[in-house]
Chains A and B, each alone.
Chain A
């Protein structure tokens, strides 16, 4: 029988640094909650808003798969591998920090804020060669259907990471439903609502609610209003 866990939006950790307003679904920085450490290999889900012209100065990472998804505005990324890129609204970037990498993330726009999700997944292999991958997604590919945006396979749809994880985006009109079939036995899915209201089986979820489901092969998603959501399938044991 499916196991589930509900994380209401308002129960997330919150840090407002002025230039950065961040909601943490799991323990991060000074937000520590032993009950909210991770969902399987999904360790970080930060819902960040960065003021115009501000950003995260150069800082290090290692041994995490770091995924950035702008929801509003664009983010400039620079890293120690000499990559310089703008992650636009509509893009997804995956960075394997591996043996170690430095990077910065800035909102170069002088007038508008940027809102983005930063998601960290434990890798299935430590100390890999650092790398990054970025693509532009076609929004039509998620209108009333599930669009794969991340997988373990470089040859598959979306970006790839060092983990048996699959991410999908959906943008459903009210009343549309779809079944999600798990890709790998032993995985769970963390559902994160980006806009609107959806039901996962019988569980009603609102904007920015999180819902984990595992020990099952599939579940049904129904849009109760026009809605957007992110599905993150990850190993529960790693």
Chain B
């Protein structure tokens, strides 16, 4: 069974590293972590992702721009916000996203 491919964008390098490690620890998931908008755009264009995880520190303008670009490229892409910075919330956030909800509400 193929792994769920996840793109993680976060500005804080050590927190990003932690989140990437935690996600890759799950045998069902495979992720790539990037820090900048340009890296995110290049990565998203280069391979198909199932889900994009937005980490902390991303400016509102960047967030809006990236979401717009991603959805134009793939209208079905799931984009979710990660809270907590490599925290105990990560697993539930991803599972909720894959269910099509965030915090029990439709995305």
Contact surface of A with B, Cβ cutoff 8 Å:
27-30, 32, 34-35, 37-38, 43-44, 59-64, 97-102, 120, 122, 126-127
Instruction: Say whether, besides A43-B89, A61-B84, A99 and B56 are in contact (CB < 8 Å).
Output: yes
Q: List 11 A-B residue pairs with CB atoms under 8 Å apart, sorted by A's residue number.
A: A28-B89, A28-B92, A60-B14, A60-B86, A62-B84, A63-B84, A98-B56, A100-B12, A100-B56, A101-B85, A120-B89
Does B46 interact with chain A (Cβ within 8 Å)?
A: no
Chain B min CB distance to A162 (Å): 13
Residue ID in chain B nearest A97 by CB atoms: B85
Instruction: Say whether, besides A60-B12, A60-B14, A97-B84, A32 and B56 are in contact (CB < 8 Å).
Output: no
Question: CA separation between A230 and B28, bound complex, in Å?
Answer: 38
Please pick, from B11, B14, B104, the residue contacting A37 in the complex, using a CB distance under 8 A: B104
Residue ID in chain A nearest B55 by CB atoms: A62
Instruction: Say whether, besides A32-B95, A100-B56, A127-B57, A59 and B83 are in contact (CB < 8 Å).
Output: no
B83 in contact with A64 (CB, 8 Å): yes
Chain A residues whose CB sits within 8 angstroms of the CB of B86 once the complex forms: 59-61
Kindly list 8 other residue pairs between chains A and B, CB separation below 8 angstroms, not including A37-B104, A61-B86, A62-B83: A34-B99, A34-B104, A37-B92, A60-B18, A62-B15, A62-B85, A64-B89, A97-B85
0/1 string, B3-18, CB within 8 A of A gives 1: 0000000011011001
A102 in contact with B103 (CB, 8 Å): no
Chain A residues whose CB sits within 8 angstroms of the CB of B103 once the complex forms: 37-38
Chain B residues whose CB sits within 8 angstroms of the CB of A29 once the complex forms: 88, 91
Number of residue pairs A-B, CB distance < 8 angstroms? 81
Question: CA separation between A105 and B87, bound complex, in Å?
Answer: 14
Does B96 interact with chain A (Cβ within 8 Å)?
A: yes
Residue ID in chain B nearest A100 by CB atoms: B12
Chain A residues whose CB sits within 8 angstroms of the CB of B87 once the complex forms: 59-61, 64
State which size class the interface on B falls in: 20 to 34
Residue ID in chain B nearest A66 by CB atoms: B84
Chain B min CB distance to A22 (Å): 9
Chain B residues whose CB sits within 8 angstroms of the CB of A32 once the complex forms: 91-92, 95
Instruction: Say whether, besides A30-B91, A99-B57, A43 and B83 are in contact (CB < 8 Å).
Output: yes
Chain A residues whose CB sits within 8 angstroms of the CB of B99 once the complex forms: 34
A120 in contact with B56 (CB, 8 Å): no
Chain A min CB distance to B36 (Å): 16
Question: CA separation between A101 and B18, bound complex, in Å?
Answer: 13
Chain A residues whose CB sits within 8 angstroms of the CB of B59 once the complex forms: 127
Chain B residues whose CB sits within 8 angstroms of the CB of A44 once the complex forms: 88-89
Residue ID in chain A nearest B15 by CB atoms: A60
